[in-house]
Amino acid sequence: MLAYQVEVVVAPMEQPLSYGVPSHLLPIIRPLSRVMVPLQKRQVMAFCLNAPYPSQTTKLKPIADALDDIACLPPELLAFFEKAAAYYQTPLGRFLEQALPAGLGKLQGQGSRSHKSQSLVELAGNGVWNEDFPPQLYIIRHILEQNGPLWLPRLKELFPRAAYWLPRMEKQGLVKISRHVLLRQISGEFIQPEAAPAALSLQQQAALESIRPAIVAAEFKSFLLHGVTGSGKTEVYLGACQEALALGKTALILVPEISLCLRLQGILQQRLGAEQVAVLHSGLSAAERYSQWVALASGRAKVALGARSAVFAPLANLGVICVDEEQDEAYKQEDRVRYNGRDLALLRGQEQGCPVVLGSATPALGTFYLACEGRHRLLAMPGRVYDLPLPRMELIDLRATPRLLGGFLSERLFAELKAAKSRGRQSILFLNRRGFAPAIICAKCGTKIFCPACSLSLTWHAQRRKLICHLCGCQRPLPAHCQSCQSPAEHFKHLGLGTEAVEEKLKELAPELRLARLDRDTAASPEQLGGILRRVLNQEVDVLIGTQMLSKGHHFPNLTLVGVLLADQGLNQPDFRASERAYTLLTQVAGRAGRQYEQGLVLVQTFNPQHHAIQAAVMHDEAGFYQQELEERRALGYPPFGRLISIRVEAGQEEAARQAAERLGEHLRQAVDKLRLRAQVLGPAPAPVAKVKHRWRYYLLIKAGNAKQAASVLRLGAFRLGAPAGVSLTVDVDPLQLL
């Protein structure tokens, strides 16, 4: 009998292994199939690298089982995964493993589990309306004409008796009722999606015209959709998806955060059909994630929307990839395997042959540079949809403002908050720090309360009455005494303030303002998040206080005032991206103001009114800012002019970490000499937070002319270090943060 074999990779191993394929598994094994294989005395999961082929030998151990009866990942993605794993210096098996949602389990195409579903009601064209129908039917018709298709619960809200009449209307062909698997419910209902615009603007049309040929030709091309805040980029993504679907292809849309998923999800489901769209993000339960993955893998759903890990969505025959807010650092995964979802989207487009649209009002400096160089085609949308000018921006110099209400609010900003309220408008107060107080200090001896595991002060969360470490997440009650001088707790003082304190103090200052707070504490789940967004959209909130979660992407039509409480955060960090971050954040949060009805106003409180990033944001001087930053980066050889790889060296003892880091530094420098590269090795230096979870951290940085050179230095240098006991190395290709 003919024997068959296949090559597989097992998570941490570099080298593929060969196994025999039992004949009953032959039909379902293909590249990227998940199988169980015997390894030493265990059975482990592995990914196949090829289709079974006739073997010369019968001595191979056979595969024990195949996990999936549908392709968990389309075979055509193999080349993409191979290149991605190589680029991020990760064994292929490990890379594949982390690409799948945790706990995916076996994948069965039938999808035997039952899912919650909901009815969508729309008017049908084939029924004949009759004079003597009861008036209720006309009411329902009127509502559907006004609103377009409606989910049944919404229709019942507008007309409670609808459910009674609908079956009859359906029978007579007056309405169409379709049941849709609910991909995600937010507090029992979706955020009401915005209606489709009557027509695309000229700049939206022009952008789509440029993208369309690449979709049709199934050709990789990268675009930078550079549209100011409120220029209507979403419609361009949507148009590109529609084009792909019309050609029988699939589409992938990435957003940086779950909060943006919720809005787009409603829009996509309404406009493309609820059953076409699957959502992938970490806010879903395991069962929901499973249903989404099966829907995509089996080809039932054709559009995947999600946060960074959705870049691995099981879509074959991909027509277009859109990356919204491409500059966002949330695209970077900072634990386990480190990758950038935006960069992988570009690689995926290249490998699967489809255009990639990177959208942003504030492109990353690197993306902007590539567009200038002609490597991304630039699609500019300089005007806002509602033809409103960008918001007016004003600085409030905190050095010249000695009295701040509640310790955080200038009188000017306070007056504008009340003025906005009196005109029936809404406002945002932005502060990129959650919790009540970022540190607690003993007023007697000056000792701060630190995390026992990390060298970072604990943040006081007043509502939960807990001290929380924002790095390791550990929580503890407020101690009764100062640890160093034993003074009782009444001598503790708050240092600085966070969003929780802003909310509480603003409540005291202006009880008439209706407040909501959006940060990781109040919006821990999609339901909570959806609830807050809905309250704002329903005009139940006058002032929304929040962290960077609210800085981008959202469209609150009635919001006209943005107050930035402290623009200086992060400005003086020893990081070459500090200015870029400050500029982007200010421009984005300012972009929430005045999007639909009237020009917005942005008040920026700062101690550094002269800083060039703040000046550039306030003057809307994008070109000047990018040029100056690019010149500085060029002079220093930083990205986009050079490439970086960081290596974090960690150990339980500080001395062990330092020594290992120094040795590694020597090996890396020798590698540079040996390879005769014009690369540089910087460090080791202690991490900005020197200890995290009881482990001490040191950093080394490889800086080279291109990615390949940086990678060769790493390979040669790290190989020679070996693996000292108790020391761990974490490699980060294209690092964004050194933490």
Rounded Cα gap, residues 81 and 577, in angstroms? 29
Residue 198 beta carbon to ligand ADP: minimum distance, rounded to whole angstroms: 6
Residue 228 beta carbon to ligand ADP: minimum distance, rounded to whole angstroms: 7
For ligand ADP, which stretch binds (CB under 6 A), given 29-37, 66-74, 195-203, 451-459? Answer: 195-203
By CB under 6 A, the residues from 555 to 584 that bind ligand ADP are 555
By CB under 5 A, the residues from 403 to 442 that bind Zn ion are 442
Residues 420/426, Cβ–Cβ less than 8 Å: yes
Long-range contacts of 16-20 (CB under 8 A, 24+ apart): 16/49, 17/46, 18/60, 19/46, 19/60, 19/61, 19/62, 19/63, 20/55, 20/58, 20/60, 20/61, 20/62, 20/63
One residue of 203, 210, 229, 291 binding ligand ADP per CB under 6 A: 229
The amino acid occupying position 479 is: P
Residue 627 beta carbon to ligand ADP: minimum distance, rounded to whole angstroms: 24
H helix or E strand, kind and range, residue 215: helix 202-216
For ligand ADP, which stretch binds (CB under 6 A), given 5-13, 197-205, 520-528, 558-566? Answer: 197-205
Rounded Cα gap, residues 257 and 279, in angstroms? 12
Residue 105 binds which entry of ligand ADP, Zn ion, none, CB below 5-8 Å type-dependent: none
Residue 445 beta carbon to Zn ion: minimum distance, rounded to whole angstroms: 3
Rg (CA), the chain: 28
Residue 18 beta carbon to Zn ion: minimum distance, rounded to whole angstroms: 45
Residue 474 beta carbon to Zn ion: minimum distance, rounded to whole angstroms: 5
* DSSP states along 304-343: EEESGGGGG---SSEEEEEETTTT-GGGB--SSS--BHHH
Please name which of 603, 516, 508 lies closest in space to residue 556, comparing C-alpha atoms: 516
Rounded Cα gap, residues 461 and 441, in angstroms? 14
467/536 with CB nearer ligand ADP: 536
Please name which of 180, 189, 158 lies closest in space to residue 533, comparing C-alpha atoms: 189
Helix (H, G, I), strand (E, B) or coil at 291: helix
Query: What is the strand order of the sheet 377-381 is part of?
Result: 277-280, 303-306, 250-254, 318-323, 356-360, 222-227, 377-381
Please name which of 320, 321, 313, 361 lies closest in space to residue 343, comparing C-alpha atoms: 321
Rounded Cα gap, residues 664 and 158, in angstroms? 68
Establish if 227 lies at the interface with ligand ADP (CB under 6 A). yes
Establish if 214 lies at the interface with Zn ion (CB under 5 A). no
One residue of 230, 306, 683, 717 binding ligand ADP per CB under 6 A: 230
By CB under 6 A, the residues from 483 to 512 that bind ligand ADP are none
Residue 76 beta carbon to ligand ADP: minimum distance, rounded to whole angstroms: 31
Residue 630 beta carbon to ligand ADP: minimum distance, rounded to whole angstroms: 24
Residue 580 binds which entry of Zn ion, ligand ADP, none, CB below 5-8 Å type-dependent: none
Backbone angle region of 694, left / alpha / beta, with phi > 0 → left and psi within -120 to 50 → alpha = left
Please name which of 359, 249, 245, 252 lies closest in space to residue 305, comparing C-alpha atoms: 252
By CB under 6 A, the residues from 231 to 250 that bind ligand ADP are 231-235
Distances from the Cα of 544 to the Cα of 406, 434, 450, angstroms: 17, 14, 31
Residue 227 beta carbon to ligand ADP: minimum distance, rounded to whole angstroms: 5
Residue 232 binds which entry of Zn ion, ligand ADP, none, CB below 5-8 Å type-dependent: ligand ADP
Rounded Cα gap, residues 177 and 173, in angstroms? 10
Backbone angles phi, psi at 349, to 5 degrees: -60, -40
Establish if 472 lies at the interface with Zn ion (CB under 5 A). yes
For ligand ADP, which stretch binds (CB under 6 A), given 18-26, 86-94, 194-202, 517-525? Answer: 194-202
Task: Work out the number of other CB atoms within 10 angstroms of the CB of residue 408.
Answer: 21
The contact pattern for Zn ion, residues 486-525, with x = CB under 5 A and - = no contact, is -x--------------------------------------
Establish if 690 lies at the interface with Zn ion (CB under 5 A). no
Establish if 735 lies at the interface with ligand ADP (CB under 6 A). no
Residues 30/84, Cβ–Cβ less than 8 Å: no
Establish if 194 lies at the interface with ligand ADP (CB under 6 A). yes
Establish if 101 lies at the interface with ligand ADP (CB under 6 A). no
Residue 382 beta carbon to ligand ADP: minimum distance, rounded to whole angstroms: 11
Establish if 259 lies at the interface with ligand ADP (CB under 6 A). no
Residues whose CB is less than 8 angstroms from the CB of residue 169 and which lie 6 or more positions away in sequence, other chains included: 127, 137, 140, 175
Rounded Cα gap, residues 102 and 281, in angstroms? 11
Residue 197 beta carbon to ligand ADP: minimum distance, rounded to whole angstroms: 3
The contact pattern for ligand ADP, residues 199-218, with x = CB under 6 A and - = no contact, is -xx--x--------------
Establish if 454 lies at the interface with Zn ion (CB under 5 A). yes
207/409 with CB nearer ligand ADP: 207
280/454 with CB nearer Zn ion: 454
Residue 401 binds which entry of ligand ADP, Zn ion, none, CB below 5-8 Å type-dependent: none
Rounded Cα gap, residues 522 and 14, in angstroms? 43
Helix (H, G, I), strand (E, B) or coil at 175: strand
Residue 197 binds which entry of Zn ion, ligand ADP, none, CB below 5-8 Å type-dependent: ligand ADP
One residue of 30, 154, 156, 444 binding Zn ion per CB under 5 A: 444
114/146 with CB nearer ligand ADP: 146
Establish if 197 lies at the interface with ligand ADP (CB under 6 A). yes
Residues 385/232, Cβ–Cβ less than 8 Å: yes
Please name which of 681, 529, 656 lies closest in space to residue 187, comparing C-alpha atoms: 529
Establish if 689 lies at the interface with Zn ion (CB under 5 A). no
Residue 684 binds which entry of ligand ADP, Zn ion, none, CB below 5-8 Å type-dependent: none
204/291 with CB nearer ligand ADP: 204
Using a 10 angstrom Cβ sphere, with 0-12 exposed, 13-18 middle and 19 or more buried, the burial of residue 376 is buried
349/553 with CB nearer ligand ADP: 553
Output the CA torsion 436→439→440→441 (10° steps).
Answer: -150
For Zn ion, which stretch binds (CB under 5 A), given 471-479, 603-611, 676-684, 719-727? Answer: 471-479
For ligand ADP, which stretch binds (CB under 6 A), given 46-54, 227-235, 436-444, 667-675? Answer: 227-235
Residues that bind ligand ADP (CB under 6 A): 194, 197, 200-201, 204, 227, 229-235, 385, 555
Q: Which residues bind Zn ion (CB under 5 A)?
A: 442, 444-445, 447, 451, 453-454, 469, 471-472, 482, 485, 487
